[in-house]
Structure 1
Amino acid sequence: MKRVQYDRHGGPEKMYFGDYDLPPAGDGEVRVSVNAAAINPLDWKLRQGAMKLFTGRRFPKGMGTDFAGIVEAVGGGVVDFRVGDEVFGTMDFKRSGAFAEAVLVEAAHLAKKPPQLSFAEAASLPIAAMTAWVAIIDRAKARPGARIFINGCSGAVGALAIQLAVSRGAHVAGACGPASRESARAAGVSPLFHYSDSQAYTRQGTYDAVFDTLGTLDVGHGFAMLNPGGVFVDINPTPARLLRGVLSRRYKLAFATMGIKHLPAIAELAGNGTLRPAIGLEAPFTDALSVIADTEAGRRTSGKTVLTF
C-alpha cells in the first residue's frame, strides 16, 4: 500500500509516496480503509520535528492524523465497530499516517460517521472539533447568556467553536479578516472586529471567556478583556505565553487530545446539523505532496483541505 511518509525531519521536500504494510488489528484496534483524510497544521509540524522528543527517531514515519473511511477488520475486545461500518477519527500523533490507503487505529479514537456527512466532511472534523469542544464547552463553560470572544473566528477551529457556543446559548463576539466577515456574521458573531482593531474588543463590555485560536492575542490584553472569574483559553502555548499565563488561574490550555472522548458526541452534533464542517478543497490522493506543500506554504481556502481516495 501507499502512504505519504518521510525519512527525516524537515520541509516539504522530505515527503514522498512510500510503500508500507499494516500488521493485523490487535486488541482494541481497528483497521480502516481510508476514503478521505484532512490536512491539519499538526501534520507538517510533526514532519518538521516540532515534537520529535515524543515521536522518537524511528523512520520512515507516516503523515496525517484525521481521516474517514470504512472498517476492514477489528481486533480483540472491539465491540462498538464492525466490518463495513463507516467511521471517522484521528490517529495518535506518535503513530500518525492517515495520508494512506489504510490505517490501524485505536477504537477509542473512532466514531461512526453520520450518514448525513460525506467522507470528506467527516474527515475534516476530529482535530478541529475536539479542540473547539475542549475550549468552548470544557474550558469556557459555554451556557445561555455567556459572553465569549473568539480571536480567529473564521478558521477551522474558530468556525466550529462559534457553532458550539451558539448551540449552548452563548453570545459570541470575535475578530477575523475582511474576507471572512460575511460568513462570521452569518454564523452569529456580533460584534465583529478586524484583527488590527484590538483596542476596540471591549467597547461593548467584557467577556466570560476569550478563546485565542491564532496565538496572536497578547495574554495580558486577553486577561483585561475578562469579567471577574472569566478564562483565557489558549491553544498556542509558546514559552512566553505560558510564562505570562501560568501564574493565573484564568489561563487555560485546550488541546485536541483532551477531546478524543467527545468524538461520539461530535458525531451526533454533526449528524443533526449543529456542527457543519466546511470543505475548501478536495484533492485526489495522487496530488497529496503538492497539496500538502501548498497548504503548508499558506494557501488559503474557505474551509478544510481534504485528500480523497
Structure 2
Amino acid sequence: MKRVQYDRHGGPEKMYFGDFDLPPVGDGEVRVSVRAAAVNPLDWKLRQGAMKLFTGRRFPKGMGTDFAGIVEAVGGKVTDLKVGDEVFGTVDFRKSGAFAETVLVDAGQVARKPSQLSFAEAASLPIAAMTAWVAIIDKARPRSGTRIFINGCNGAVGAFAVQLAISHGAHISGACGPASRASAAAVGVGRIFGYADRQAYAQYGKYDAVFDTLGTLDIGHGLSMLNPKGVFVDINPTPGRLIRGMLSRRYKLAFATMGIKHLPAIAELAGRGTLRPTIGLEAPFTDALSVIADAETGSRSSPGKAVLAFEGAGQAASIARR
C-alpha cells in the first residue's frame, strides 16, 4: 500500500509517498480501510522530531494519527467490532501511519462512526475532541453558571471545548483572531477578545477555569484571572510546565491520550449534534504532501480541519506515478 512517510526527522521536504506492508492483525487490533484522515499539528511535530525520545529511531516512519474508515479485519480477541463496521479513531502517536490506504490500530482506539457524520467529519474528531474533553470535562469540570475563558476559542480544540462547556451550562469568554470573531460568537462565546487584549480578559470578574489551547498565555497571568478555586488548563507541555503540573493543584496539563476512553461518548455527542466538526479543506490523498505542508507553514488560512479523502483502489496507481 501507499502511505505518507519519512526517513529522517525534519521539515516538509522529508515527506514522500512510500510503499509499506502492514503486519498481520494482532489479537486486539483491527485493520481499517481509510476513507478520510485529518491533519493535526501533532503530525508534523512528530516528523520534526519533537517527540523522538518516545517514537524511537526506526525508519521509515508513517505520518498521520486521526482517521475514519471501514473495518477490513479484526483480531481474535476483538468482540465489539466486525468486518464492514464504519469507524473512526486515532493511531498511537508512537506508531502513526493514518495517512495511508489502510491502517492497523488497537481496537480500543476506535469507535463506531455516527451515521449522521461523513467520514471526513468523523476523522476530524479524535485528537481535537479528546483533548477538549480532558481539558473541559475532566479538568475544568463545568456545571451550570461556570465561567470559563478559552484562549484560542475558535481553533480545532477550542471550538470543541466551547461546545462541550456550553452543553454543561457554562458561560464562555475567549480570545481569537479578528477573522474568527463571527464564528466564535455563532457557537456561543459570550465575550470575545483579541489576543492582544490581555488586560481586558479579567475585566468582568474572575473565571472558574482558564483553558489555553495555544500555549501563548503566560501562566502567571492565567492564574491571576482565576477565582480562589479555579484551575488553569494547558495542553502545551514543556519540561518546566510538566514539573509545574505535577506540583500545582491549580495548574493542570491535559493530553489527548487521556481521552481515548471517551471516544464512544464523543461519537454519541457528535451524532446528536452537540459536537460539530468543521471541515476547512477536503482534498484527495494524492495531494497529501502539499496539504500537510500548507497546514504546517500556515499557507492555508481557511478555518476548520484539513482532511485527506481516500477514494479507493484507483488512487494507488495515481500516487505511484508521482
Which residue matches 2:97? Answer: 97
Which residue matches 2:133? Answer: 133
**2:229 is aligned with 1:191:** no
Which residue matches 1:75? Answer: 75
Which residue matches 1:86? Answer: 86
Which residue matches 2:37? Answer: 37
Which residue matches 1:115? Answer: 115
Which residue matches 2:178? Answer: 178
How far apart are 1:143 and its partner, in Å?
A: 1.0
Which digits, 9 at most, give the CA deviation of each residue in 1:48-93, with x for residues without a partner? 1111111111111100000000000000110111100000000001
Equivalences for 1:185-264 in 2 at 5 Å? 185-242=185-242, 247-264=247-264
Which residue matches 2:314? Answer: none
Which residue matches 2:142? Answer: 142
Which residue matches 2:290? Answer: 290
Asked if the contact 1:220–1:244 (Cα under 8 Å) also holds between the matched residues in 2, the reply is: no
Which residue matches 1:265? Answer: 265
Letter in 2 for 1:236: N
Letter in 2 for 1:300: S
Distance 1:58 1:34 in 2: 24
**2:307 is aligned with 1:306:** yes
Asked if the contact 1:219–1:241 (Cα under 8 Å) also holds between the matched residues in 2, the reply is: no
Which residue matches 1:22? Answer: 22
How far apart are 1:247 and its partner, in Å?
A: 4.1
Asked if the contact 2:69–2:86 (Cα under 8 Å) also holds between the matched residues in 1, the reply is: yes
Matched position secondary structure for 1:148:
strand
How far apart are 1:237 and its partner, in Å?
A: 1.8
Letter in 2 for 1:104: L
Distance 1:140 1:12 in 2: 36
Distance 2:187 2:292 in 1: 28
Judged with a 3 Å threshold, the aligned counterparts in structure 2 of structure 1 residues 281 and 58 are, in CA distance, closer, same or farther, namely: same
Asked if the contact 2:242–2:253 (Cα under 8 Å) also holds between the matched residues in 1, the reply is: no
How far apart are 1:193 and its partner, in Å?
A: 0.8
Distance 2:28 2:73 in 1: 11
Letter in 2 for 1:229: K
Greater shift, 217-226 or 235-244, is seen at 235-244
Letter in 2 for 1:57: R
Distance 2:108 2:144 in 1: 31
Distance 2:209 2:4 in 1: 39
**2:53 is aligned with 1:49:** no
Asked if the contact 2:11–2:47 (Cα under 8 Å) also holds between the matched residues in 1, the reply is: yes
Judged with a 3 Å threshold, the aligned counterparts in structure 2 of structure 1 residues 272 and 115 are, in CA distance, closer, same or farther, namely: same
- Compute the TM-score of the two structures, normalised by the length of structure 2: 0.94
Matched position secondary structure for 1:8:
coil
Letter in 1 for 2:219: V
Which digits, 9 at most, give the CA deviation of each residue in 1:21-68, with x for residues without a partner? 112211110000000000000000111111111111111110000000
Distance 2:242 2:218 in 1: 11
Identity of aligned residues (%): 81
How far apart are 1:300 and its partner, in Å?
A: 2.2
Which residue matches 1:12? Answer: 12
Letter in 2 for 1:123: A
Instruction: Give the count of matched residue pairs.
Output: 309
Which residue matches 1:3? Answer: 3
Judged with a 3 Å threshold, the aligned counterparts in structure 2 of structure 1 residues 83 and 141 are, in CA distance, closer, same or farther, namely: same
Distance 1:53 1:302 in 2: 32
How far apart are 1:148 and its partner, in Å?
A: 0.6
How far apart are 1:101 and its partner, in Å?
A: 0.1
Greater shift, 238-247 or 153-162, is seen at 238-247
Asked if the contact 1:4–1:17 (Cα under 8 Å) also holds between the matched residues in 2, the reply is: yes
Matched position secondary structure for 1:117:
coil
- Compute the TM-score of the two structures, normalised by the length of structure 1: 0.98
Give the RMSD, CA atoms, in angstroms.
Answer: 1.0
Asked if the contact 2:245–2:253 (Cα under 8 Å) also holds between the matched residues in 1, the reply is: no
**2:169 is aligned with 1:166:** no
Letter in 2 for 1:170: A
Distance 1:117 1:212 in 2: 28
Letter in 2 for 1:272: R
Matched position secondary structure for 1:47:
helix
Which digits, 9 at most, give the CA deviation of each residue in 1:119-178, with x for residues without a partner? 000000000000000000000001111111100001000000000000011111111111
Distance 1:305 1:189 in 2: 23
Distance 1:143 1:303 in 2: 27
Q: List alignment gaps of at least 5 residues for structure 2.
A: 311-322
